[in-house]
């Protein structure tokens, strides 16, 4: 991407840029101007200089900066990465700052923007402040329900094994080493076993994807909001088909508004396998042509905030105002559950997609998560459980087989049982059928 010549500005339109007082008091800027044309960028030259200056010197994340500006995180990330064509001359940022307090409190030379940005990616948790911790906490809370607990809206199935199942390894904090782990007998060779280290940043995760280095696509995945927490949620709770669709649509398909290089077919398949490895091994995976999620929520939220709090594991409450402004209220979302996948993709993409000229919007991954939530909720309260067996299909008036004989077909039904007790009866279904009983 060519660099801009000295003194060149990509656009000269006036924008509602924040001052130092906005960052000092942590208050968003007041919007008084409206972008005249859809071709104009949401951040002008001064705004991009403010983003890079504040991000390089303070403890300001892209999410907090986006809140001050009143724009999306994608626009802030693109300004920090200098991802425009032609590129801004970063050395001239302070010349474009109209508020002298920025130069006073964020003096030049204290921390170089490129060094600060590189250090954050390598040594700290990627996007730790950009993504809310509620996403991972909400997903983990559902996965860690007790085995015998009854649920009305979701079901967690576990199977007793001959040997105790291994506990799922915590993704973000590896187990501490025991001080007596390396203690050995006299005159005996020391035996040390290095614990399997889990990646703690997005950069280290991309470097260890089945021994294939995908670190060159860090900028692409960051711009598409693929954070480490969201990748972990996808691996634990999403199905193989959902993961495949997310990788293909968000990281493989070309985007006219983004000139970054996308993944090849081999790299996409390798990344899918690595994400699927994050799935917990202590839960039953009901497999079929396309498996259902491990934990299927069939709750019916009554408010938009409750619905956005858990959209297939993602917390999208930050976009509540956007959905209300665009008319995507609960009534509209309920009616969209009956739509076809192509119709959902077109309407959600055109109505909520974040674009360079707009001050807000959702990225591809977030729109896909919303689409998957609406598609999976097309029939949230089924009356008939359809299953397939070696011979024929079981109907509503026939005896149902046990869970061990089932092959689940995604899209045909939602497996819904009231309690774990019902599952126990289902496992014993073969014995009950011999006695001529129905369960």
Give exposure, 23-41, as e/b (b: 16+ Cβ within 10 Å): beeeeebeeeeeeeeeebb
- Contact predicate 282/163, CB 8 Å: no
What's the average model confidence in pLDDT over 265-287?
Answer: 70
**Look-up of token digits 């921390």:** 111
Structural element, H or E, at residue 394: strand 393-394
What's the average model confidence in pLDDT over 325-329?
Answer: 87
**Look-up of token digits 């917390």:** 315
DSSP β-bridge partners for residue 194: none
**Look-up of token digits 């009616």:** 335
What's the average model confidence in pLDDT over 79-90?
Answer: 82
Low-confidence winner among 132-146, 301-315, 344-358 (lowest mean pLDDT): 132-146
Q: Is the pLDDT of residue 379 over 80?
A: no
Ranges of beta strands (E only) in 234-378 are none
Structural element, H or E, at residue 65: helix 62-69
Task: Report the predicted TM-score, pTM, of the whole model to 2 decimal places.
Answer: 0.42
Is the link from the previous residue into 406 a cis peptide, with omega within 30 of 0?
no
CA distance linking residue 32 with residue 200, whole number of Å: 42
Both tokens of 144, joined, read 């860690």
* Residue 191 CB partners (closer than 8 Å, separation 6+): 184
Sign of dihedral through CA atoms 66, 219, 49, 57?
Answer: positive
* Residue 118 CB partners (closer than 8 Å, separation 6+): none
- Contact predicate 327/358, CB 8 Å: no
198: left (phi over 0), alpha (psi -120 to 50) or beta: beta
Highest mean pLDDT among 62-71, 118-127, 171-180, 355-364: 62-71
- Contact predicate 236/136, CB 8 Å: no
pLDDT cut 90: percent of the chain above it: 0
Both tokens of 15, joined, read 């924008």
CA distance linking residue 143 with residue 85, whole number of Å: 44
CA distance linking residue 340 with residue 281, whole number of Å: 33
- pLDDT tens per residue across span 196-236: 456 678 888 887 777 788 888 888 888 888 888 888 898 88
Highest mean pLDDT among 55-59, 77-81, 212-216: 77-81
What's the average model confidence in pLDDT over 416-421?
Answer: 37
Q: Is 121 helix (H, G, I), strand (E, B) or coil?
A: helix
Q: How do the domains of the chain map onto residue ranges?
A: 20-123, 202-276, 304-376, 387-434
* Residue 380 CB partners (closer than 8 Å, separation 6+): 298, 300, 337, 414
- Of 360, 284, 272, 280, nearest in space to 323 by CA: 360
pLDDT of res. 192: 41
Both tokens of 71, joined, read 């724009």
């Amino acid at each position: 991407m060519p660099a801009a010549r000295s003194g060149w500005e990509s656009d000269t339109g006036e924008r509602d840029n924040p001052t130092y007082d906005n960052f000092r008091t942590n208050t968003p800027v007041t919007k008084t101007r409206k972008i005249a044309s859809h071709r104009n960028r949401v951040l002008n030259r001064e705004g991009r200089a403010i983003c890079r200056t504040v991000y390089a010197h303070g403890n300001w994340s892209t999410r907090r900066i986006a809140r001050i500006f009143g724009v999306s995180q994608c626009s802030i990330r693109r300004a920090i990465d200098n991802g425009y064509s032609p590129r801004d001359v970063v050395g001239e940022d302070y010349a474009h700052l109209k508020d002298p307090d920025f130069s006073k409190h964020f003096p030049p030379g204290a921390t170089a923007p490129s060094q600060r940005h590189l250090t954050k990616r390598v040594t700290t948790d990627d996007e730790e402040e950009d993504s809310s911790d509620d996403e991972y906490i909400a997903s983990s809370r559902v996965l860690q329900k007790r085995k015998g607990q009854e649920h009305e809206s979701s079901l967690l199935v576990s199977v007793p094994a001959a040997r105790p199942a291994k506990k799922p390894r915590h993704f973000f904090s590896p187990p501490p080493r025991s001080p007596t782990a390396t203690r050995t007998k006299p005159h005996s060779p020391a035996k040390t076993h290095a614990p399997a280290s889990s990646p703690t940043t997005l950069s280290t995760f991309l470097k260890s994807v089945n021994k294939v280095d995908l670190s060159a696509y860090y900028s692409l995945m960051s711009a598409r909001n693929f954070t480490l927490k969201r990748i972990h949620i996808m691996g634990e709770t999403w199905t193989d088909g959902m993961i495949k669709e997310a990788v293909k649509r968000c990281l493989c398909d070309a985007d006219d508004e983004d000139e970054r290089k996308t993944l090849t077919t081999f790299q996409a398949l390798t990344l899918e396998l690595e994400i699927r490895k994050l799935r917990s091994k202590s839960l039953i995976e009901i497999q079929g042509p396309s498996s259902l999620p491990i934990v299927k929520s069939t709750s019916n939220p009554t408010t938009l905030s409750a619905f956005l709090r858990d959209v297939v594991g993602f917390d999208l409450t930050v976009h509540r105002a956007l959905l209300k402004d665009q008319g995507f209220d609960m009534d509209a979302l309920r009616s969209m559950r009956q739509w076809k996948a192509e119709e959902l993709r077109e309407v959600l993409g055109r109505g909520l997609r974040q674009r360079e000229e707009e001050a807000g919007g959702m990225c591809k991954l977030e729109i896909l998560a919303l689409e998957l939530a609406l598609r999976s909720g097309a029939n949230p309260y089924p009356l008939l459980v359809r299953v397939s067996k070696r011979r024929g299909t079981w109907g509503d008036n026939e005896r149902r087989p046990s869970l061990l004989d089932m092959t689940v077909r995604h899209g045909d039904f939602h497996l819904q049982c009231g309690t774990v007790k019902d599952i126990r009866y289902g496992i014993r279904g073969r014995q009950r059928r011999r006695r001529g009983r129905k369960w």
